[in-house]
Each structure stands twice: as C-alpha cells, then as structure tokens.
Structure 1
Amino acid sequence: MTGPIRPTSWSALLAALQDDDWNPQLRRFRSPYVFRGQGSAAPLTTSLQRLSEQPQEVERHLVRAFRKYALAAVPAQPNVWAWLTLGQHHGLPTRLLDWTYSPLVALHFATNDSRHDHEDGVVWMLNSAACAARLPAPLADLLTREGSVVFTTDLLAALSDGTPGAPAFDAEIGWLERLEREAGEPFLLLLEPPSIDQRIVQQSALFALLSSPDAVPEQWLHARPHLARQVTVPRELKAEVRDRLDQFNVTERTLFPDLHGLSRWLRRYYQPAADGDPDR
C-alpha cells in the first residue's frame, strides 16, 4: 500500500474515491471497493482489540454473556454470526470492523465529529474482489458458487464444524482458526449483516473480520499493499465536505433514522461555523 492520497479539493476527493470503478466484464460502473471513514488517522483496530490485550480469550466470554442477557430484549438469534452482528450494532466489542459500500457514507464518518476538525480524516478503500480471491479454497469456492465476494451470516453458519461435545462458540467459529492454520497466515473476509434495522440499510453497511481476533487489521493490510488504499480528508477541506454531504442528504438524520439521529443532525447543522473559517 502506497502512502495516502491527499486530494486538495472536493472534486479531487470524489475522483480519488471513485477511481477504478469501471467494471469491463459488467460494462457498468461498479466499484470493487468498500469504504471506511475515520475522523482522524487513528490505527485501524477492532473494538475487541481496543478493549483487551488478549482479544481471543475475552471474545468467547463477551459473546456468551451477550447471548445470555440479550434474550431479555431480543429473540434468540440463529447462529453466532447473527449474534456478533447484533452485538456490533449495539456497541459490543467484537472482531468485526464497520465498512460501507458508499464512499459518501464513509465521508460522513470522516467529517461528522467536530472533536476531530483540527485533524486530517481518512477514508480506507478495501478491494473486496481482491480479498475474496485470496481466501482459502473452501471459502473462495463457496463465494464463486454464490456469485458473490461477501458472505452472509447464513453462509458462515453453514461452515460450522459442529464437533460433538465442543463448546458452542468453538463449534461455530473454530473453523476459522483451522483454515488459517492450513493457509499458513490470517485471512480477511467480508460479511453482510442481516437488516436488523434501518441504520444498517441506510448506511449500506457491511463488516470485515480477520480469521484471528488477534490479527491487527492495519498491520495485515500494510503487509498486503495491493488490497487497500487510503485517501486523506484534509482538515482544511472538512467543512466543505460536510456542507456538500448535507446538500446530498447524507446526514445523521438519514443514516440514523430515528429521533436521536434527527437531533444529532440538527445540533451539528445549526452549530455556528468556526471563527476565522472563510469557507463557512
């Protein structure tokens, strides 16, 4: 992965995010990339890794406790992957990392938090097709049969080892480690969550996960530079990007379609512009 691209205008920023989006096989503009926006150039790590220095050990306890106590609020989920996506959606530390199919949604998350206005933001671009092509053969073959480059929770659940007598978590997710050992290195796959609520739908959301919860996504990507790129959102451009996204209706009100999202949008939209900013 080369150094981050640093556009100096709105049009250059859009061009960088739409690069390589022509698909000659389909003869359509269909980007192979998925996107992740961050308000600062913080390390690309999972919430599970930020919680604990031993993510693999703590993960099973988190999932077991979440499954146990969440039943008071939601119906039982059909498999561990559905539980993980539900937990991620509600703030549980997991090995999942949020991405989106939409570069505009990624730009929203790179610019929506005023606490980072003094810092450059970043949009990560991950080549989903290239990631799928380097998966272990059983996974790559399954995606080929499905005509897809991303998994669903049902597809992953079908790969459960189902070892008699094994703890539920190990039986449902242990095959990842087995395939990793056979491959000799960690691998990354993409997961489309079920449409739990309108936030997931509106944000065009999907998740990335590594076969080992200990593997750090940023380190993994830096070791495989052809899979991803970074586009800097310069701090001096953030105010303009934010205004243009508001005009395009990419806001908290539409991405979080509830009263909380509406209130967040109104608070930001009517916040006075920073002093001395000639572009506001």
Structure 2
Amino acid sequence: MIQDTLQKASLAELFSLIEKLPGPQGHLFRGQRNAAWSLIPTLYRLTPNIHGGSIAESFNVFEAELIDRFFREGLPYLPPISRSYSNDRALAQHFGAPTRLLDWSEDPLVATFFAVEQWETTTDAAVFMIIPEARFRPEDVKDFKALQSIAFRPPAIDRRIPAQRSMFTFHPHEPKDQPFVPLEQRPNIGINVSNPHGAGGSARAFAKIVIPQPLKEQLFLRLSRIGIDRRNLFPGLDGVGADTAARALSGQWM
C-alpha cells in the first residue's frame, strides 16, 4: 500500500494527491477518523463463539446467524427488496449489523467528510482509496482464491445510499485457518497498475492519504461550504439536526 500525507487544508491539494496515486480511474474511497485504525470488516473484529471447523467456517456460521437474527427481529421495518446473499449483507451492514463488508464511496469528498467530521478529536485521520480486483455480486463469484476485494453496488435501500454514492467491498476470510489479516497489511490487494512514480514496473491500486489533525477543521469547513455535510449525505430531519449541531460546534451555523 502506498501512503502519502496531506500537507495543506486544501481540497485542490487533496485532489492533486489522489491523481498522483496509483490507478487511472474507478477508485473507491473510505474515510476513517483515526488514521491508526486498520481496515477490518466488523464481522472479523469479533470472536465467534462457535467450535469446530476452520476459523473461516466459524465466521461463515456466525455471520449467517447474525443475518438471520437481523431479518427475524427487523421484519416489521424491512424495505421491499428481494433477498439474496449480497442484498441481505448490504441491508444488514447499512443498518449496523456486523458483516464481512466494508463501506466505501465513489466520491472522494464524501470519504473525506467522514474522515474529518469529528475534527475536534486529537488523532490524524485518513482516506483510503482502492480499485478492487473485481466488481461482482459475491454470489456470482465461483472462486475467491485470487480475489481479496470484490466491489458491488448496494440497492437504493434508502436515500442515504445514492446521496453518499455508496459501494460495498466483500472480503472472504483467507487463509481459512488463520486470523483475518487487515487489508492495509496485504501486499497484493487491489488491481495491478503502472507505477505512479514513473519508476517502471507496477504497483497495487491501493493507497492511504493521512490527514494531520491540525488540518481537519479547515477541511471540514471547506466541505461544508460546498454542501458535503450531514444535511445532504443523510437526507431527512436527522441529517438536518446533525448538520445544525456540527455547524454550531464549528461556529458556522448561519
């Protein structure tokens, strides 16, 4: 994974970094408010209380039980979409249940917003960018052995999905008998592209941009001024209320 650091609280500087990093187009972006956090799907952060079989098989059973509980308990509130392997996990992930999916956006500004939204915290933030090895629904993939990241577009469950230009990546548990390896620690994730620094050879289309803590507030304010805020990314009164509170905290409520 290539890593770089934003030097100025400038969206132009951010886009300049993005354009320098590997891969011509088709990136997905993910913002994290703490640059030290690893890229691990919520399912794999847990310890399944299931015995027998490999670690991967235990997670398969654990996830299936969590999905079953989500749909059983959530039945009165479910949107009218057809059930399938990918739809079930997209819906569960969207509403906070643990799955093997990670949330991404096709819009780097949306990812940057999620990275710096809590600008008052004392940690650096980060934006990850990746071109996954494949774009398929997981149930349409016959062999996962050569694939570590598979992207798919979720159904428009609610207005947040299109507003945030949401995408999910699916991550199988490999190797099956070992703990899940965080994505940023994997040398061969993301498609192969030409070396972005002109040194010949190739590089993986997977990168991390660190946003130092002192730059977060100004980036948050710049994003707010162009409408990248809770009001627009979370359509509805909850989003309006959260945006009003955030602007009050930053002194930009007018």
TM range (shorter): 0.7 to 0.9
Q: Distance in 2 between matches of 1:126 and 1:22?
A: 8
- 1:97-138 superposed Cα distances (whole Å, 9 cap, x missing partner): 0000000000000001246x311100001024xx13xxxxxx
Relative distance call for 1:20 and 1:49 in structure 2 (3 A) is: closer
Paired residue total: 221
Q: Give the counterpart letter for 2:15 in structure 1.
A: L
Return the match for 2:28 from 12, 19, 34: 34
1:122-133 alignment runs, 5 A limit: 122-128=126-132, 131-132=133-134
1:210-257 C-alpha deviation (Å, 9 max, x unpaired): 122864342564444613011111111111100100011000000001
- C-alpha distance in 2, partners of 1:202/1:217? 28
- Following superposition, the deviation at residue 197 of structure 1 comes to 0.9
Relative to structure 1, the CA distance from residue 207 to residue 22 in structure 2 (aligned partners, 3 Å threshold; closer, same or farther) is closer
List aligned pairs for 1:3-14, cutoff 5 A. 4-9=3-8, 10=10, 11-14=12-15
- Checking the alignment, whether the CA contact within 8 Å between 1:221 and 1:227 is kept in structure 2 is no
Q: Conserved in 1, the CA contact under 8 Å of 2:124 and 2:210?
A: yes
| Equivalence for 2:143 | 179
Q: 140, 144, 166: which one pairs with 1:205? A: 166
Kindly indicate whether the alpha-carbon contact (under 8 Å) linking 1:189 and 1:210 is maintained by their aligned counterparts in 2: yes
Deviation at 1:93, TM superposition (A): 0.6
> Mean alpha-carbon deviation: is it higher for 217-226 or for 33-42?
217-226
Q: Is the contact made by 2:38 and 2:184 (CA closer than 8 Å) also made in structure 1?
A: no
Q: Matches of 2:117 and 2:91 in 1, distance apart?
A: 24
Normalising by the residue count of structure 2, what TM-score does the alignment of the two structures yield?
Answer: 0.78
Between the aligned partners of 1:22 and 1:98, the Cα distance in structure 2 is: 20
* Paired residue secondary structure (2:17): helix
Q: Secondary structure at the match of 1:78?
A: coil
User: Which residue pairs with 1:59 in the alignment?
Assistant: 63
- What CA distance in whole angstroms lies between the structure 1 residues aligned with 2:72 and 2:250? 45
Residue 136 (structure 2) aligns with? 151
What SS does the corresponding residue of 1:5 show, helix, strand or coil?
strand
Q: Partners of 2:85 and 2:161 in 1: how far apart?
A: 18
- The runs of 5 or more residues in structure 1 that have no matched partner are 24-30, 133-149, 160-175, 274-280
**Structure 1 stretches (4+) deviating beyond 4 angstroms?**
20-23
Distance 1:229 1:193, change over 3 A: same
Aligned equivalents of 1:121 and 1:151: distance in 2?
Answer: 30
User: By percentage of residues, which structure has more helix?
Assistant: 1
Structure 1 residue 12: Cα displacement = 2.0
- The CA RMSD over aligned residues, in Å, is 2.5
Distance in 1 (alpha carbons) for counterparts of 2:184 and 2:23: 29
What is the 5 A alignment of 1:107-126?
107-114=112-119, 117-126=121-130
Match of 1:70 in 2: 74
Q: Is the 8 Å Cα contact of residues 163 and 233 (structure 2) preserved in structure 1?
A: yes
For 2:26, the aligned partner's letter is P
Which residue identity does 1:5 align to in structure 2? D
Q: TM-score, normalised by structure 1?
A: 0.71
Offset, 1:199: 0.2
2:71 is paired with a residue whose SS is helix
Cα distance per residue 1:189-222 (max 9 Å; x no partner): 1010011111000000000011228643425644
